[in-house]
């Protein structure tokens, strides 16, 4: 900005590039100012579970899990995602989970069948004890248990680790 207030005899550089730079700086400052506006008055949302419709009035949900190459995306990680999706707190008859494998790998097909067999035991276990972490890999790698004193829970958890 000081460039424009210099005396004309001292100016040896063309004015147009400096003017373009100045205008671009003003536009970037305006964009930054607008981007910061969300912090001036943040929006807080609250959840009202009592306003949710009954289970029979909830819409059906389709979950698509896409994978391409079992070498780049380990099948175990994909199946943890599938099991986590199956364990969502939603009516089971309205929840549809699809696995799309672009490579058409036999390993993914076998892992999907094994994940389905494991989910037959895992999903009721999660619902029975109200587990927040539905991903088996994350749950078994953590050391936290919600029901530390319950011998029934410990026995069923040991059984889940074996399956």
To the question of whether residue 156 is assigned a binding role by annotation, the answer is: no
To the question of whether residue 158 is assigned a binding role by annotation, the answer is: no
To the question of whether residue 102 is assigned a binding role by annotation, the answer is: yes
Inter-residue contact 157 to 139 (CB < 8 Å): no
CA-CA distance, 141 to 135, in Å (whole number)? 10
Summarize the annotated binding site for UDP-alpha-D-glucose as residue ranges.
Answer: 72-73, 102
């Amino acid at each position: 900005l000081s460039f424009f207030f210099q005396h004309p005899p001292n100016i040896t550089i063309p004015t147009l590039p400096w003017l373009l730079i100045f205008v671009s700086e003003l536009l970037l400052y305006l964009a930054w100012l607008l981007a910061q506006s969300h912090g001036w008055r943040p929006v807080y949302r609250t959840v009202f579970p009592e306003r949710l419709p009954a289970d029979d009035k909830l819409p059906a949900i389709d979950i698509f899990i896409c994978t391409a190459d079992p070498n780049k995306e380990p099948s175990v990680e994909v199946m943890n995602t599938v099991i986590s999706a199956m364990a969502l707190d939603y009516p089971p008859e309205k929840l549809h989970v699809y696995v799309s494998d672009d490579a058409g790998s036999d390993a993914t097909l076998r892992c999907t069948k094994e994940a389905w067999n494991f989910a037959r035991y895992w999903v009721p276990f999660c619902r029975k004890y109200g587990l927040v972490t539905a991903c088996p890999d994350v749950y078994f790698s953590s050391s936290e248990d919600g029901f530390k004193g319950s011998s029934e829970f410990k026995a069923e958890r040991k059984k889940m680790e074996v399956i």
